[in-house]
Amino acid sequence: MKLNVLLFGCLLITAKLNGQDKLPYAEKAAKLQKEIWGAPVPEFKATAIPEKFEKESAVVIARSYSAQRSSNSKLKFMLITAGVAIKTVKVNTFHERVKINDKSALEDFSTIAYQKKLDKTVNMLIVKFANTQNTFIGAKIIKPDGKEVVINTSEEVLTQNETKDQQGKLAISGLQVGDILDYYVCTVDVSEQADGDRYKDNDNIFSLVDEYPVLYYSIDFQFSKNVKVKYIYANGAPHFTESRNSDGDLLLSVQLRDLPKYKSQLWSSPMRQYPYIEIGSSYTLDPKTMGDNLISKQSSMFEGNKVVFQDSFVEYADFDKLVKKAKDFFGSTKAMKEAPLDTLMKVLYDQWKFTTFGEYTENQMSEVGDINYRRANNKWAAITLSIILTDMKVDHEVLLVASRNSNSLENSYTMNDFDAMIRVNGPRPIYMAFDDVVTHCNEIPAVFEGEKAVALRPKRKNATKYLFTSSETSLPTSTSDKNLIHEKLKISLLPTNMQKLKVERNVKQTGIMRHDHQKALIPIQDIDNKFMTLTKGEPLSKRLSSVKQTKKMSKDYEYLFNKQREELSKNFNAEIKSKFDQEPEQLSDFKIVNYALLNTNEAFEFNSTFVLNNLVKKAGNNYIIDAGKLTGGFLKLEDKDKTREADICMPAARTFSYTLSITVPEGFKAKGVEELNQNKANQTGSFSSSAKLVGNVVTIEVSRVYNNNFEKVENWVAFKDLMDFAADFNDRKILLEKNI
Amino acid sequence: MIKRFFVFCAALLIFNNAEASFADSAATIVSSKDHYSFLFNVKSGQVEIKQVLTKNYVSNSYQVNLQVGETYNNKVSIDEVTCKVDGRVPKGFKPLDEYYSINDIFYSDARVCYFNALLPKIGSLAEVSFRQTITDPRYFTSVFFFDQYRMLAKDVVFTIPRWMKVELKEMNFGTLDIKKTSTYDAKLDCDVVTFTAKNLSATKTEENSPGPTYIYPHIMVMCKSASTGGKSFTYFNTLNDQYTFYSSLVNSNSYDQSVISNKAKELAAGAKNDMDKIKAVFYYVQDNIRYIAFEDGVAGLKPENADEVLRKKYGDCKGMANLTKALLVTLGFDARLCWLGTKHIVYDYSTPSLAVDNHMICALYYNGKKIYLDATETYIGLNEYAERIQGRQVMIEDGLKYSLDSIPVAATTQNTHEELLILNVDGNNLIGTVKHIWKGEEKRDMLNGINSIKKEKADEALLNYLSDRNSNYSIGNIKVSGTGNADKDFTVSYQLIHKNAISSFGGEYYIDLDLKKEYMNSAIKIAERKHPYWFSHKTTLFKDVELIIPPGYSISSIPKNLDIKNSDYEFLVHFIVQPNKLIYRKKLIIKNIKLETIKFEQWNKDIESLSNIYNHSIVLKPTTK
């Protein structure tokens, strides 16, 4: 941790500090230092660390975070009128006492960078709207002999030194391995500009695991009584003790001991697996029925955000643009109404996709590589489609769901913590997820599979008000055969150099397994053209010219898209390099066979031909082929991942299969083929390989199946066994023996 | 390292911007002109250089976002910035000014003035200019001819009054189309020297390239003296002037003698002889003073007081050299400060200039010999020298005089990694013992790596390194020594079980004895690489594997030996058959760190030969067969 608090913005204030507002910076700093170091709790006096932590890089002996916030409204008199401004004062103090045990930790804790002062106060004639931030830091070193050395913070250097903007850096002098560093960072924010008053502006997450062992950790909040506060205890996090002082201020406090270390592991989902506390506060002048005030009234942050989401159902002008396009597509309203439900939904979905991803801005020119990676605003899309479907009287629900890789739905804190999609109810449900340009209609993104969701069934009251019935549901999970990679490799030894392999490769990918390569390999122009044709949409030049900012950019985009297509070989090259861990030679015949942009054509398919090195060893007159490595290799666990305490959260149930056809050169015979026949299966999946020699071709069929996207840790042994078994295949070889 | 490049010269600073980016074909500079005029500022009573830098760009694509900037510092001011795109000032045009963060430097006074200019169409034109003033001629050191964009034409014009003595030295012009003309302007009593360059390719950043002063055309500007306004100024007319300037910064340096003396006594306590004392001081500074670089105006040249460095436990090369010297002098040794340019810089002190050096170390005169002490290099022993300073000329303080010397050039054996294995066949596995010994810069690199990792993860990192992340390579009973003593080799020994190291077909064993296969993927992409390749240091990698032939087996096939020797490197791989054993002996020596582009083809051929050996298996067959 290079201590960098330039972005450390946050909370708190005490009455004491309010009183100090007018004090010069140096005096404030001195007072704060006295308060923070003056009467420490015993944990902040400790110097000993348990023996078991001697091999740790650093040990946090004590850490405290205290935050105070007061907000109130007051009249601001301007020349003509008067308005109400909120004055919010936040004081946020982070204090830590760390034992430095090695040079790595010494490096981490030896410098600190911070925004010392920032003044964005606005003067409007006779009225001033304050907005200031001051940061105060302090550090002292406790030497092994107990001697305390207070760091002279005036040794800082200012990298920005304007009256209203000062940024500082301080190198901690005298700090050595074996020392204890006791330091604090305190920020004081005063604002009358209402730019940091809402929950979203004051959202703090306290992870209760750490990169270092933490012996003691206290978290304290104080909020003036009119400030609204919401918090979440996730994954078994301990609870605050709540109380109020004589002024009615809300006091929240929790003390923790012996925090575990965070262990970074393969296939984990930290926001689901480690305890954390999320807390925020709000004080707004919104009407009671809007925004944060509406959220504050609900039982949880998720419920609050759900209500705000529901309130967003408003029939804006041209909301039914997609319906008009669908009508054009079908040729008449009658034809549209007579279309089967699934056809109609697919047409609407494709129209949405083309409308969304067929638009380009003037800024995207400089980042053409990112265009295929654009993500839709799924909440906006779900609301629009839901309004349309309601109008069309199509039975459906809006599903609110959180990613498997993030917080759970019930632990959502802000609107960004969950997503929205649509389920159309019919003989078979049709799912519409508004994700990326390659997601199909009725394809559920892997991150939502198996997740609990809240289903909102809308009912129109009027153009600006919809009513909802809410229920709980779960999203289905796809099976391993739906998320498939199948590769066919025709392999031969180059006659000119038999230690080089010529590979003719055909790859088919379905489900989640196709997304990454579709976005990496398909030229933007091809995607655009496909959807334009499919939806009978307008040509690119017309679309660009209909928007003011891109009105004259038709040639620009044409040039850009052509240039991107010219670089297609680079994308194929990169794909092969990542697969086989080496730069391919003589890349040729690279081609996308099937774009798989529609759910009627599910498998993304591409071909390429190239030469690989270092997979054939010479042994006298014979050659040994690293057959196992021709699959690209199966994942091998690192030692740190071999023991596991957390459940296994994988992207999806999935299948990898390979057909390797190796031509045995004339004058040679293949040995070791039969040893490639192996298989193993258990409840978590399977691995099989079978090989046969027919004529002069050795054909090896390899299959690796992961049955589920999630395994309980109880299954880890079985899971690991299968991984080890599959990884052993990486070392399998075939001997090509010279005929005598 | 001081990295004082950033202080000296605005033109050079442009390079540093450019170096950070790849060759960019989105635009071309159709014309560029740098005009430098020497003037006497009556108000300040000093000579100044007014510089006007103009560039005209044409866009080769659509929506090209030109990033234009000039870095400057407290010896340079930016007086005016202009920009026009297709004849108009861009809407809201306002150059930004901020601190310029430089890698590895904790703080410098470098700032950057920059703006973005959007060229909307192919053929769009941009004209940009910067007017700047250099307030001290000593800080005007170089003018470079290159940019991140290709340049069709560039003029560099110097207007030099006859009262100003300045030398312009052409560097790396080679076969480039750069012409020089000189005229005399009688009205102004000035010489006007014009360099006209055509068709300059864009810069290209490549790893392991020589420093920019080796590879890019530029003019070295050496301001010697001036006589104007009734005053005379001496800049760096001779090297002695430069030394006088440096020593004035050093001489104004004072420190609390008692603090240094106490520390020196503490370090020397228990030392049995002078060499013990010297090592105690050198290794203390190496190990206990964190390298943190400050680069702030004159402070960029002035060493921090020795007692302050000792108190802070951090410092840059100047401060560390100063502390080393102070501690040694206190103990009665003749220790002195030295200035030098590392291998990153092409120049030496034959051209007095602030651009010549970027580093400070300490020289110890002992028993008629000089020992150079560079405490910024951790884990390297006394009398061992890092490649970056080897052979470099040093200017050593000597009261009012200076002396010049060169840092010794170390033998390739200074930096070695030896790996000794004794292996037995055990089914499909190889089992045995392994010992590694690292010396010199090889040792430094290993220990720097280990110590940059958190203590609790260091063992795992070492195992990952030793096994090349191959989970079949199982290490047990590991013993490590020499981590805490710069005087000793760093050694690691362990028991090995290398699973599946043997492939068995029809009773025959196919064995690969080399796990790491050093340099196997080191072929240079000749079509892409533009600059010479410089290795970080000379090195000797030695591997000796003794394979015990199992009873009932004999050697059926071994690869042919490899013997590649030239003045730059040696690749020697030998298979030695002895009774019941096979010795695989590999020696890879980099003798010359500079691999020139004309040698790339041979290098690639030699790498292919080495790879061929790596891609050959040893075959053991049953003796009954």
Q: What is the residue-wise DSSP string for B56-81?
A: EEEESSSSEEEEEEEEE-TTEEEEEE
Residue in B288, B311, B454 closest to A104 by CB: B454
**B257 interface with A at CB cutoff 8 Å:** no
**B456 interface with A at CB cutoff 8 Å:** yes
Residue in B120, B292, B460 closest to A640 by CB: B460
Q: Which residues of A touch B99 (CB under 8 A)?
A: 159-160, 167
The answer to whether the CB of B203 falls within 8 A of the CB of B182 is: no
Q: What is the DSSP string of A40-105?
A: --GGGT-----GGGTTSSEEEEEEEEEEEEEEEEEEEE-SS-EEEEEEEEEEEEEEEEEEE-SHHH
* Banded model confidence at residue A492, pLDDT cuts 50, 70, 90: very high
Pick the residue from chain A with its C-alpha nearest to B294: A157
Residue in A104, A560, A638 closest to B62 by CB: A560
Chain A interface test: which of B313, B473, B500 (most A C-beta within 10 Å): B313
* Banded model confidence at residue A73, pLDDT cuts 50, 70, 90: low
Query: What tens digit of pLDDT does each residue of B32-49 get?
Result: 999 999 999 999 999 999
Q: Dig out the tokens for A409 from the structure.
A: 């739905």
Distance between B316 CA and the closest CA of chain A, angstroms: 12
pLDDT of residue A5: 40
Report the phi/psi class of residue B321: left, alpha or beta, with left for phi > 0 and alpha for psi in -120 to 50: alpha
Helix (H, G, I), strand (E, B) or coil at B600: helix
Q: Which residues of B touch A58 (CB under 8 A)?
A: 454
Q: Which residues of A touch B454 (CB under 8 A)?
A: 56-58, 102, 104-105
Residue in B313, B455, B615 closest to A104 by CB: B455
**A266 interface with B at CB cutoff 8 Å:** no
The answer to whether the CB of A138 falls within 8 A of the CB of A5 is: no
Distance between B535 CA and the closest CA of chain A, angstroms: 22
Pairing of strands B429-438, B490-498: antiparallel
**B479 interface with A at CB cutoff 8 Å:** no
Q: Dig out the tokens for A297 from the structure.
A: 């009234």
Pairing of strands A497-509, B359-366: unpaired
pLDDT at residue B13 tops 70: no
pLDDT of residue A576: 97
Q: Dig out the tokens for B49 from the structure.
A: 């250089």
Helix (H) / strand (E) containing A532: helix A524-535
Query: Looking at residues B133-159, what average pLDDT do you find?
Result: 95
pLDDT of residue A17: 42
Query: What tens digit of pLDDT does each residue of A265-276 get?
Result: 899 999 999 999
**A149 interface with B at CB cutoff 8 Å:** no
- Range among A157-161, A166-170, A651-655 rated most confident: A651-655
pLDDT at residue B397 tops 80: yes
Q: Which of A150-164, B260-274, B366-380 has the lowest average pLDDT? A: A150-164
pLDDT of residue A127: 64
Query: Looking at residues A529-551, what average pLDDT do you find?
Result: 92
- Residues 294-323 (A) with a CB less than 8 A from some CB of B: none
Query: Looking at residues A20-37, what average pLDDT do you find?
Result: 82
Tell me how far CA of residue B469 lies from CA of A30, B457, B460, B464, B474, in angstroms. Answer: 52, 15, 10, 5, 10
* Banded model confidence at residue B111, pLDDT cuts 50, 70, 90: confident
- Residues 272-301 (B) with a CB less than 8 A from some CB of A: 288, 290, 292, 294, 296
| ipTM given for this complex | 0.88
Q: Residue B65: phi, psi to the nearest 5?
A: -100, 95
pLDDT at residue A3 tops 80: no
Residue contact B62–A559, C-beta within 8 A: yes
Helix (H) / strand (E) containing A518: helix A512-521
Residue in A57, A174, A640 closest to B312 by CB: A174
Residue contact A618–B616, C-beta within 8 A: yes
Who contacts A606 (Cβ-Cβ below 8 Å, separation ≥6)? A506, A507, A517, A521, A572, A590, A591, A592, A593
The answer to whether the CB of A647 falls within 8 A of the CB of A713 is: yes
Distance between B442 CA and the closest CA of chain A, angstroms: 19
pLDDT at residue B11 tops 50: no
**B608 interface with A at CB cutoff 8 Å:** no
CA distance A144 to A108: 19
Residue contact A173–B556, C-beta within 8 A: no
**A731 interface with B at CB cutoff 8 Å:** yes
* Percent of chain B clearing pLDDT 70 (strictly above): 95
Distance between B549 CA and the closest CA of chain A, angstroms: 17
* Banded model confidence at residue B225, pLDDT cuts 50, 70, 90: very high
**A102 interface with B at CB cutoff 8 Å:** yes
Distance between A35 CA and the closest CA of chain B, angstroms: 26
Amino acid identity of residue A127, one-letter, is V
pLDDT of residue A444: 97
Report the phi/psi class of residue A267: left, alpha or beta, with left for phi > 0 and alpha for psi in -120 to 50: left
Residue contact A559–B556, C-beta within 8 A: no
**B516 interface with A at CB cutoff 8 Å:** no
Tell me how far CA of residue A146 lies from CA of A47, A61, A179, A181, B432, in angstroms. Answer: 8, 15, 9, 12, 49
Query: Looking at residues B129-137, what average pLDDT do you find?
Result: 96
Q: Which of A194-203, A252-261, B115-124 has the lowest average pLDDT? A: A194-203
Distance between A544 CA and the closest CA of chain B, angstroms: 15
pLDDT at residue B14 tops 70: no
**B121 interface with A at CB cutoff 8 Å:** yes
Q: Which residues of A touch B311 (CB under 8 A)?
A: 173-174
The answer to whether the CB of B58 falls within 8 A of the CB of B27 is: yes
CA distance B216 to B171: 8
Amino acid identity of residue A176, one-letter, is Q
Residue in A173, A366, A624 closest to B314 by CB: A173
- Residues 483-522 (A) with a CB less than 8 A from some CB of B: 499
* Percent of chain A clearing pLDDT 70 (strictly above): 94
Q: Which residues of A touch B520 (CB under 8 A)?
A: 614
Residue contact A103–B451, C-beta within 8 A: yes
Give residue B97's Cα distance to chain centre: 29
Distance between A587 CA and the closest CA of chain B, angstroms: 16
Q: How many CB pairs under 8 A join A and B?
A: 134
Distance between A687 CA and the closest CA of chain B, angstroms: 20
**A103 interface with B at CB cutoff 8 Å:** yes
pLDDT of residue B539: 97
Residue contact A104–B453, C-beta within 8 A: yes
* Percent of chain B clearing pLDDT 90 (strictly above): 84
Who contacts A535 (Cβ-Cβ below 8 Å, separation ≥6)? A325, A329, A347, A350, A351, A354
The answer to whether the CB of B586 falls within 8 A of the CB of B564 is: no
Q: What mean pLDDT value characterizes chain A?
A: 90
Torsion sign over Cα A9, A14, A16, A22:
positive
Residue in A107, A619, A731 closest to B510 by CB: A619
Residue in B313, B455, B520 closest to A56 by CB: B455
pLDDT of residue B290: 93
Tell me how far CA of residue A447 lies from CA of A377, A380, A419, B362, B587, in angstroms. Answer: 16, 19, 11, 60, 52
* Banded model confidence at residue A67, pLDDT cuts 50, 70, 90: very high
Tell me how far CA of residue B88 lies from CA of B33, B55, B117, B292, B338, in angstroms. Answer: 20, 15, 11, 45, 53
How crowded is residue A6: how many other Cβ atoms within 10 Å of its Cβ?
16
How crowded is residue A367: how many other Cβ atoms within 10 Å of its Cβ?
9
The answer to whether the CB of B286 falls within 8 A of the CB of A103 is: no
Residue contact B615–A614, C-beta within 8 A: yes
**A427 interface with B at CB cutoff 8 Å:** no
Q: Which residues of A touch B314 (CB under 8 A)?
A: 110, 171, 173
pLDDT of residue A157: 85
Pairing of strands A111-119, A131-142: antiparallel
Q: Dig out the tokens for B290 from the structure.
A: 């964190």
Chain B interface test: which of A624, A636, A643, A668 (most B C-beta within 10 Å): A624
Strands (E), B462-532: 473-481, 490-498, 502-505, 508-511
CA distance B62 to B21: 20
The answer to whether the CB of B197 falls within 8 A of the CB of B31 is: no
Pick the residue from chain B with its C-alpha nearest to A556: B62
CA distance A80 to A86: 19
Half-sphere exposure at residue A225, Cβ-oriented, CA atoms within 13 angstroms: 7
pLDDT at residue A21 tops 70: no
Pick the residue from chain B with its C-alpha nearest to A619: B617
